[in-house]
Chain A
Amino acid sequence: MENLIGLLVAAPLLGAAVLLCGGRRLDRSGPWVGTLLAAVSFALAVALFADMLGRSGEERTLTTTVFSWVPVGGFRADVGFQLDQLSMTFVLLITGVGTLIHLYSVGYMEHDERRRRFFGYLNLFLAAMLLLVVAGNYLLLYVGWEGVGLASYLLIGFWQHKPSAATAAKKAFLVNRVGDMGLSIAIMLMFTTFGTFAFGPVLEGAGQAGEGKLTAVGLMLLLAACGKSAQVPLQSWLGDAMEGPTPVSALIHAATMVTAGVYLITRSGALFDAAPTAQTAVVTVGAVTLLFGAIVGCAKDDIKKALAGSTMSQIGYMILAAGLGPVGYVFAIMHLVTHGFFKAGLFLGAGSVMHGMNDEVDMRRYGGLRKYMPVTFVTFGLGYLAIIGFPGLSGFFSKDKIIEAAFAKGGTEGWILGGAALLGAGITAFYMTRVMLMTFFGERRWQPDADGNAPHPHESPKTMTVPMVILAFGSVFAGGLFAVNDTFLKWLEPVTGHAHGNPPVSALTVTAATMVVLVLGVALAWARYGRKPVPVTAPRGSWLTRAARRDLLQDDFNHIVLVRGGEHLTRSLVYVDHTLVDGVVNGTAASVGGLSGRMRRLQNGYARSYAVSMFGGAAVLIAATLLMRAV
């Protein structure tokens, strides 16, 4: 069985190699080749899952070493895999949603002449993401970690003839690199502390290390997670990443890659449990981001960017839960999976809308689409109900548990975190209702585009709607299935451990409060976007709206401090290098050896003659040595 783990990664990797090196003759069959290999990977995942279920909870972990990768002195990195319940959950999500989105892309990218390459990149992404979650040590995880970053870069910039797409891709990679810096420092710290960075020994030995070291490791891992999972302060890339084709936004920037930070923190749970300071930092980042993303999501008129704000916010919930320790790990992952379903579904729905609307993304130019796209409307609607936490749907079960766990943290901290999570739920209801109303209800507001083409909204082809329907099923039922008999908790507990929290108020009160803010959020959105017609041009809005449209001014800050500042720095350094460093070194040389005179002479055209004399000198030297030997 262990050998299948390698194949799981190898199948999509093969697809990527074939599609990217295969040349034109694969243009026609390419999309299906890519989809087939994704499906193979999913089949393998199911086989491994069935096998895993056949063993009892404690014996489900498979480990295997394929070969020794970098052995240098005491530094030993292997290419080895570890598949336990946590990895398995991810593997099923990645391959399952991944295959659906491959299928969807067959229809969505039908008219793109570079679609072979698109599917090659998607396969590359699957391979890297699977490597990330089945790697048996942190260095191999790092390979997957940067691999998904590369795939994300290539896919965001897929339409690279558009300067905005190329810029967004570069920005995503760079911001992620800052996070990667954290991951590499964390691995180096592990090596100097434990002498290894394989999961088993590091996590088992975590208790023996000093708390200072562990806090440092934890903070560095958090930095990495912030980059990959678009958490404050490294969140700025995610909104721009929406430049990529919509299936990419669904798979990479909603369902899977952006949740890698949650995986990293949950996987490293034993380290964080022994470093409370780092945990505090984690919950703070989570709480801040869940509000940040939600506020940004309220102000965006671009449907994908509104959803991107939402993704940020929902991952904030997961990070918050993961930072709570054993009380929260299970719920972080549970929300991650349900979110994978409904957010992927929402993005695919958004893609379907764009597909029928000449790629228009401005929701102010939508309206009343429910009549034209019934399947999209229903599946999107179910995803909407799931994300706002409508009772009985997926999001209800997973989000409610996180809010509860946040309150259970206890003390003032618990009230602050719980309050933030509760407030976030209300804002989520507001902005998602806003998206729903602006897109599918109200009057039709679309207009001919610049070339005079009026959109003719229509339902999308089967390859697109089938994945949407399947994901909608997940959005509706996954949460309930997981919650019944604590199925998900029992499944994951052997890996992550679990502790029951004791919230200061009863669980029922928390649920009731959540319902109240949900209704308030929906009602407020209805009052603003349902009762009144939506203006086609955005009103000026309050200062908060204006700031939220600009990602709460974080981009402006980045631009002024990092981009402009950096430009000034490099420009002045170029000048310094040219005048000062060059000048000083030349000058020193001149004063020592009188070289400057020669330098000038050489520039006046004596170079050749000087070189000849050099050559002559060397020749004499060689001749002399040879002569001496002869003597």
Chain B
Amino acid sequence: MSFPLLTATAVVPAVGAVATAAVPAARRAAAKWLALGFSLATLVLAAVQLVRFDPDAAGPFQLTESHAWIKDFGVRYELGVDGIAVVLIALTALLIPFIVLAGWHDADPLEGASPNWRWRPTQGFFALILMVEAMVVISFEATDVFLFYLFFEAMLIPMYFLIGGFGDRAGERSEEETAAQRSYAAVKFLLYNLAGGLIMMAAVIGLYAVTADQLGMGTFSLQEIVQARADGRLDLAPAAERSLFLGFFFAFAVKAPLWPLHTWLPNAMGEATAPVAVLITAVVDKVGTFAMLRFCLQLFPEASKWATPVIVALALVSIVYGALLAVGQRDIKRLVAYASISHFGFIVLGIFAMTTQGQGGATLYMVNHGISTAALMLVAGFLISRRGSRLIADYGGVQKVAPVLAGTFLVGGLATLSLPGLAPFVSEFLVLVGTFSRYPAAGIIATVGIVLAALYVLVLYQRTMTGPVKDGVRGMPDLRVRELAVVAPLIALLLFLGVYPKPLTEIIDPAVGHTMSQVEKSDPKPDVPVNEAEAAK
């Protein structure tokens, strides 16, 4: 048996979580370094996955592992990655070290707190982050529906504690008030996602019942179900397929989040510390959109096509609505949250446009949005930690006192508004063109998002960074070495992937082609294809 690389990529952060949690209360610093070390080790494993992955290999999944688990219910421990999963795992593994580093002091005990505080917040904070990483990674790897479901849901537990347990320093608000708001946000997060999960659980059981009924033996294996459908051994009635599809889709739409199920996100991202907000929107939420591609489309291709018009409409609403709400925010972190809702609209739109450019673009969008939001949100977090306020109105003239902070904030913002030359432009344009070639009207409406993104980003920049220096901003220190070490690589990556995204598109493309063939869709042909030879050259 070869080395179980996929299992290892999930187990390493899980072990790291346990080890970090076990560090004695007095050795806080050691816990941080331990967490950073484990997150880097995971990054190495993810890089090995990327290297060993062969984009041109036949078959949908690679590096597969398969073991019987719960025989009575046909549950298997089945892992495998396609081009989409492997880049998302790489994104996750890449972002976690930055999240750890950015949150270095976020869980330090408050000044004046007793040194032998029985609850060890620092250890807990970093252990929870690693735990989330482990669960996200295995969710991307699982090709058994039950296995996926288990970790998709289990992820809520560490996330709940991360949101509810750690927040920004209260600043001008009272500790009690912030604690109450935090706990409201955490509970809202939990209930929304739990509701989605419960509905999905019903659908998972339903899927089992159908397979048990028609195949004689129930199964959760994605490949087996897809194969059985192709052979005609499994034939879902339209009504059954649609209700199962909706069950799955609902859970993913909550997580993604899609309008109107989005309202938990601004609360969660607003109350959590900036690194945890990045963890939510850049990492955890990606499981939702990823699962739409992997499970909704592949398990229920007919129902996916049936639901497409409605989903495209909801995605468009998300794009425009999220952006307009972002414009109206007074709180920096909530603004970024609504911007993310708009961006998730683009991702869902690209997936359901059912074109190579749309789905390839959506996958690339997941990666690029992860990096760009991390850059913007983490710098916003550094800014907030200096002033102790999330309100835009409390800032002004920061570029005068902290030019590097302002400059990196601007680059993060420009990435968020998809400026050409930075990575998000490529994916956004692919989604737009992929959508436009199938649904011209939807493509045109989505371009409104381009203008609105410029509005919320530049208004945010103008209000916080330009103008006369405000009182609370005076004397604000510029980015420190640790902070620069977080931001600079992210910016470099945004530039690199904006100029040369080919390494990623080469990996993603075949996987998207496979998904497209599952739903039996092919790209629309141009009206008057000119000079194919010329075009190819």
**Which residues of chain A have a CB within 8 Å of any CB of chain B?**
20, 65, 67-76, 79, 139, 142-143, 145-147, 150, 153, 157, 160-163, 165-167, 170, 173-174, 177-178, 180-181, 184-185, 187-189, 191-196, 198, 200-202, 204-205, 208-210, 213, 566, 569-571, 573-574, 577, 581-582, 584-585, 589, 593, 595, 598-599, 602-603, 607, 610-611, 614-615, 618, 621-622, 625, 628-629
**Which residues of chain B have a CB within 8 Å of any CB of chain A?**
69-70, 72-73, 75, 150, 153-154, 156-157, 160-161, 164, 180, 183-184, 186-187, 190-192, 194-195, 198, 259-261, 263, 321, 324-325, 327-329, 355-357, 360-361, 397, 399-400, 407, 414, 419-421, 425-426, 429-430, 432-433, 436-437, 440, 443-444, 447-448, 450-451, 454-455, 458-459, 462, 465-469, 499-502, 505-506, 509, 512-513, 523-532, 534-537
Q: Given contacts A174-B455, A611-B190, list 9 more A-B pairs with CB under 8 A.
A: A70-B426, A75-B433, A76-B535, A181-B451, A195-B529, A195-B530, A614-B160, A615-B157, A629-B70
A170 and B459 in contact (CB under 8 A), knowing A75-B433, A143-B420, A570-B324? yes
**B450/A611 in contact, CB under 8 A:** no
**A75/B436 in contact, CB under 8 A:** no
Tell me the complex Cα distance, A593–B357, Å: 40
Residues of A within 8 A of B509 (CB): 71-73
**A73/B360 in contact, CB under 8 A:** yes
Residues of B within 8 A of A193 (CB): 526-528
**B357/A204 in contact, CB under 8 A:** no
**B432/A192 in contact, CB under 8 A:** no
* Closest CB pairs A-B (n = 6): A73-B356, A205-B530, A570-B328, A195-B526, A166-B466, A143-B420
**A72/B530 in contact, CB under 8 A:** no
**B505/A160 in contact, CB under 8 A:** no
Residues of B within 8 A of A192 (CB): 436-437, 440, 524, 526-527
Give the shortest distance, in Å, between A189 (CB) and chain B (any CB): 8
Tell me the complex Cα distance, A296–B535, Å: 46
Residues of B within 8 A of A69 (CB): 499-502
Tell me the complex Cα distance, A153–B536, Å: 36
A198 and B535 in contact (CB under 8 A), knowing A161-B397, A184-B429, A577-B325? yes
Which of B150, B361, B425, B536 contacts A72 (CB under 8 A)?
Answer: B361
Tell me the complex Cα distance, A162–B468, Å: 7
Residues of B within 8 A of A610 (CB): 187
Give the shortest distance, in Å, between B493 (CB) and chain A (any CB): 16
**A181/B530 in contact, CB under 8 A:** no
**B451/A201 in contact, CB under 8 A:** no
Residues of B within 8 A of A198 (CB): 534-535
**A574/B329 in contact, CB under 8 A:** yes
Residues of B within 8 A of A603 (CB): 180, 183-184, 187
With both beta carbons as reference points, the residue of chain A lying nearest to B355 in the complex is identified as A73
**A143/B433 in contact, CB under 8 A:** no
**B468/A161 in contact, CB under 8 A:** yes
Give the shortest distance, in Å, between A161 (CB) and chain B (any CB): 6
Residues of B within 8 A of A184 (CB): 429, 432, 447, 450
A628 and B327 in contact (CB under 8 A), knowing A208-B530, A614-B160? no
Give the shortest distance, in Å, between B406 (CB) and chain A (any CB): 9
**B450/A181 in contact, CB under 8 A:** yes
Residues of B within 8 A of A150 (CB): 414, 419
A201 and B260 in contact (CB under 8 A), knowing A177-B451, A191-B437? no
**A569/B324 in contact, CB under 8 A:** yes
Give the shortest distance, in Å, between B436 (CB) and chain A (any CB): 4
Give the shortest distance, in Å, between A501 (CB) and chain B (any CB): 30
**A71/B505 in contact, CB under 8 A:** yes
Give the shortest distance, in Å, between A561 (CB) and chain B (any CB): 15
Tell me the complex Cα distance, A74–B534, Å: 13
Tell me the complex Cα distance, A622–B523, Å: 43
Residues of A within 8 A of B523 (CB): 73-74
17 contacts between A and B (CB under 8 A): A69-B500, A71-B502, A72-B356, A157-B466, A170-B458, A174-B458, A177-B454, A184-B450, A194-B527, A205-B528, A570-B324, A581-B259, A581-B260, A589-B192, A614-B156, A625-B69, A625-B70
Residues of A within 8 A of B448 (CB): 181
Residues of B within 8 A of A573 (CB): 321, 324-325, 328
With both beta carbons as reference points, the residue of chain B lying nearest to A615 in the complex is identified as B157
Residues of B within 8 A of A167 (CB): 462
Residues of B within 8 A of A209 (CB): 527-528
**B530/A204 in contact, CB under 8 A:** yes
**B531/A589 in contact, CB under 8 A:** no
Tell me the complex Cα distance, A167–B426, Å: 28
**B501/A70 in contact, CB under 8 A:** yes
Tell me the complex Cα distance, A79–B501, Å: 12
**A68/B502 in contact, CB under 8 A:** yes
Which of A139, A194, A585, A607 contacts B528 (CB under 8 A)?
Answer: A194
**A147/B426 in contact, CB under 8 A:** no
Which of B73, B325, B426, B531 contacts A204 (CB under 8 A)?
Answer: B531
**A210/B530 in contact, CB under 8 A:** no
With both beta carbons as reference points, the residue of chain B lying nearest to A625 in the complex is identified as B70
